[in-house]
Amino acid sequence: MDDSRETLTKRAFVTGYPVRHSRSPLIHGHWLKTFSIDGSYVAREIAPDDFPAFIGSLKDGSSLFCGGNVTIPHKETAFQLADRPDELAEELGAANTLWLEEGQLLATNTDGHGFVSNLDARQPGWDASDVAVVLGAGGASRAVIQAVRDRGIGEIHVVNRTVERARELADRFGPRVHAHPIGALREVMTNAGLFVNTTSLGMDGDRAPEIDFSPLRSGAVVTDIVYVPLMTQILSQAEEQGFVVVDGLGMLLHQAAPGFEKWFGRRPVVDDTLRNLIIADMERH
């Protein structure tokens, strides 16, 4: 009699191009082990030209995956190819989490969930302020702006070197979002309670510009979606100036939890054990 174990094993993936440095397999592997689930989560590096065929194999079942994560540069295409993207993905025009349900491919974007859940865990009360400043207007800023707006922050100031890109985000996310050129940074920081860096400034130890955080209100929170290094230059500057800082690692960890629940049926917990596991891996590489 054939062994049916393979058909019972839930299989999920992360795909991107490149994707070999993704820590998602380590995160989900930890949770699979924690719950003693007979499942797997693997990285699949798929070139853009091959991505539609990969999604096709997911839809028709030939890939044997029940769903997975999508990262750069496939998020927009994943949204377009999904049968039923939810409202979050619709507004963003991008999806990072896919799963099969009743013969259809569903899609959402959990980046915003990851962002606010990290702040909730590391600095409860961060949303007491009514003014936020978001530095950068690239793709990574979309989910942050959406999540901060949906949390109820009244004013969100997006500052970018190319102000036209910031205006595109203001148009997309509504009247509470305001676009500014980089020269207006100090002015819009006045009395803001949240400062978010969504740019790659300071990533992998590169130099970041000096920022005077003093216009922020007392007790303001400064956070960075970059997590390599864990303490970025922007966070170091803010901390030296007396502000509370929250690193970006938790965003990566928390955004992974909803997908795990969709694929494997258990809601995982983001705890210090997982955080320390990922930090140890970062230190080795």
Active site residues: 75
Residues 6+ apart with CB under 8 A from 117: 250, 251, 254, 255, 257, 270
How many other C-beta atoms can be found within 10 angstroms of the C-beta atom of residue 257? 21
In a 10 Å sphere around its CB, with 0-12 CB exposed, 13-18 middle and 19+ buried, how is residue 10 labelled?
middle
Provide the edge-to-edge strand list for the sheet that holds 39-45. Answer: 39-45, 10-16, 67-70, 97-101, 104-108, 84-85
Coil/strand/helix, residue 108: strand
How many other C-beta atoms can be found within 10 angstroms of the C-beta atom of residue 138? 13
